[in-house]
């Protein structure tokens, strides 16, 4: 929890600095997609707040996901991050952005250790489960995306994000819906 508060304070400080400049706009985004590591595939969903000012973008994101390994060990995560980057309008209704930042990830994962359980089901007997443990790590986040802005307050687009963590780095494409003052 202390990490989330620290990230929030850092993000608000960046926004305060950026707000002293000229023309600006902001967005709230929701995203859904998949993530891929060397071992697993994930389903993920998240949200992001972005502030845009004179070609620069400042962001704070939260995302969560779980792996798609149905019969093997289970793993889930929550990720918070702060981002700084550049954006450019390549057409009045198309915006491209690239961001980099820091992230903190935590979650639960099953180990390879199997635990026997007594089943109270219809047939009874033994069932098996994996032993679970908590984990956390910090790393770098790189993200690029393109948005189609059909109106001044709505955007639809695609993102590609790389979470560069020491343990289980991930790449994740996602579909994004964005609302706010976008141009």
Ordered by start, the domain boundaries in the chain are 2-181
> What is the model's pLDDT at position 182?
82
**Spatial separation of the C-alpha atoms in residues 110 and 130, rounded to whole Å:** 6
Q: What would the DSSP string read from start to end of 115-139?
A: EEEE--SSS-SEEEEEEEEEEEEEE
> What is the model's pLDDT at position 12?
56
The answer to whether the beta carbons of residues 128 and 74 sit under 8 Å apart is no
Q: Classify 174 as helix, strand or coil.
A: strand
pLDDT in tens, 102-147: 999 999 988 777 777 666 656 656 666 778 899 999 999 999 999 9
Percent of the chain with pLDDT over 90: 60
CATH annotation of 2-181: 2.40.160.20
Percent of the chain with pLDDT over 70: 81
Q: How confident is the model at residue 40 (pLDDT cuts 50, 70, 90)?
A: confident
Q: pTM of the prediction?
A: 0.78
Residue with the bigger pLDDT between 172 and 68: it is 172
Q: List, as own/partner pairs, every contact residues 3-8 make where C-beta atoms lie below 8 angstroms and the sequence separation is at least 24, other chains included.
A: 3/80, 3/104, 4/80, 4/104, 7/60, 7/80, 7/81, 7/82, 7/104, 8/60
**Spatial separation of the C-alpha atoms in residues 27 and 147, rounded to whole Å:** 12
71-88 b/e (C-beta count within 10 Å ≥ 16 → b): eebbbebbbbbbbebebe
The chain-wide mean pLDDT, for the chain, equals 85
pLDDT in tens, 159-171: 999 999 988 899 9
Q: What would the DSSP string read from start to end of 47-83?
A: EEEEEEETTEEEEEEEEEEEE--SSS--EEEEEEEEE
Residue with the bigger pLDDT between 136 and 69: it is 136
């Amino acid at each position: 929890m202390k990490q989330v508060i620290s990230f929030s304070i850092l993000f608000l400080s960046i926004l305060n600095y950026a707000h002293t400049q000229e023309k600006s706009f902001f967005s709230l985004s929701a995203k859904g997609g998949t993530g891929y590591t060397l071992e697993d595939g994930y389903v993920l969903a998240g949200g992001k707040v972005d502030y845009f000012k004179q070609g620069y973008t400042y962001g704070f994101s939260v995302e969560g996901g779980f792996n798609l390994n149905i019969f093997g060990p289970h793993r889930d995560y929550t990720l918070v991050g702060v981002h700084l980057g550049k954006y450019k309008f390549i057409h009045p209704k198309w915006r491209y952005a690239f961001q980099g930042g820091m992230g903190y990830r935590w979650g639960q994962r099953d180990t390879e250790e199997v635990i026997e359980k007594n089943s109270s089901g219809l047939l009874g007997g033994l069932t098996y489960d994996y032993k679970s443990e908590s984990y956390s790590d910090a790393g770098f986040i790189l993200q690029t995306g393109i948005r189609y802005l059909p109106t001044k307050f709505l955007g639809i687009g695609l993102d590609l994000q790389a979470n560069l963590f020491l343990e289980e780095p991930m790449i994740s494409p996602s579909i994004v819906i964005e609302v706010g003052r976008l141009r």
